Amino acid sequence: MEQRTETVFRTRGLTKVYRTGAFEVHALRGVDFQASSGELLVILGPSGSGKSTFLNIIGGLDTATAGEAWFKDIELTALDPRGLTQFRRDHVGFVFQFYNLVPSLTARENVQLVTEIARNPMSTDDALALVGLTDRRDHFPAQLSGGEQQRVAIARAIAKNPAILLCDEPTGALDSATGVQVLEALTQVNKAIGATTLIITHNAATQAIADRVLRFADGQIVEETVNSQKKKPSEISW
C-alpha cells in the first residue's frame, strides 16, 4: 500500500466557546489534530462532546474562538467569511444525516447543482456510478429509498472532486442494512478519489472500517486508535 504522508489538516489548540448572556459553553477545549491525504477517520463521542463543532470548523462552516486550523498551507482560522466560502466550494464535500435533496429535481439534477459551480468536477454520471445509482439517476427523491437518497447526497458531495469529505452522522437516519450500503459507498469513494474522509457517528461498530479512530469527550480528543486491519462495511453490523 502506498504510504500516505501529505498532511491535509492540522489543528493546534483549537477552542470554541459559545456565549449566551453570562453563560459560556466550552464546545472545544484545545484540540490538537492531524490528518493525512486519503485517510478515512471515524470520530466517535456522545452528543455534546464537540465532534460536530470540530467538523464544522475544519469544514469552514464555523469559526474558532482560539487556536489554529490549517488545510495544507491555508490557515482556515485566518480566513474571512468570503475566504471560508471559497474554501468550502473548492475543497470540501459535505454529507449530513438528512439528505437535503431538492425534491423537484432528479438524482442526476441534484448532483448537477454541484458540477455546474465546481472548479474541477467529475461528470454527474461518474459520481452516481461510484455510489451505485446509475439505474436510479432519473428518479426523484420521493421515488428513492432513504439509503438511495443518502447515496445521491454522497454523489453530490464528491462530484466536485473534493480533497476532503466530511460526513456528520451519514447513517443516523438509516437501519443497519441500509447504513452498511451507505458506508460501502463512502469507502468506495475514499478509495476512488482519494479524499480524506471524516465520518462522525454515534455508532461504535463503524470504527472498524476506519484507518484511525478518534474519540471525543468534553471538547477534547481523549483517545486515538489505529486499525492495523480494517473491516469491510459488509463485515460489521449494529
As a whole number of angstroms, the longest Cα–Cα distance in the chain is 55
118 pLDDT band, cuts 50/70/90, is: confident
Phi, psi (rounded to 5 degrees) for 213? -120, 130
pLDDT of residue 183: 92
Phi, psi (rounded to 5 degrees) for 178? -70, -40
The CATH superfamily holding the domain 7-235 is: P-loop containing nucleotide triphosphate hydrolases (3.40.50.300)
Mean pLDDT calculated for residue range 89-106: 91
Distance CA 221, CA 34 (A): 12
Q: Over the stretch 12-35, which tens digit does the pLDDT of each residue have? A: 999 999 998 888 999 999 999 999
